[in-house]
């Protein structure tokens, strides 16, 4: 974003993206370890729920 706009970087956006990709990585790793027996979307929900609970 900084390269395109020349604006000062806000670390919040990068942190959010890194967190989401970390959750995806953890979900895929678990999915592979379980030989695909658990649906990947469910594992991704669990990983993201560990970062921020899905229910209030």
Rg (CA), the chain: 15
Residues 7-48: tens digit of each pLDDT: 667 788 888 999 999 999 999 999 999 999 999 999 999 999
Q: Which residue has the higher pLDDT, 54 or 16?
A: 16
What local confidence, expressed as pLDDT, does residue 35 receive? 97
What is this structure's pTM? 0.76
What local confidence, expressed as pLDDT, does residue 34 receive? 97
DSSP assignment letter at 36 = T
Burial of 27 (C-beta count, 10 Å sphere; 0-12/13-18/19+)? buried
Confidence of residue 2 (pLDDT cuts 50, 70, 90): low
Whether 27 and 40 have beta carbons less than 8 Å apart is answered as: yes
CA–CA distance, 36 with 30 (Å, rounded to integer): 9
User: How many alpha carbons fall within 13 Å on the CB side of residue 30?
Assistant: 16
């Amino acid at each position: 974003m900084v390269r395109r706009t020349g604006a000062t970087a806000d670390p919040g956006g990068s942190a959010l993206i890194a967190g989401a990709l970390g959750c995806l990585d953890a979900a895929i790793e678990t999915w592979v370890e379980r030989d695909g027996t658990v649906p990947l979307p469910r594992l991704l929900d669990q990983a993201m729920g560990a970062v921020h609970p899905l229910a209030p």
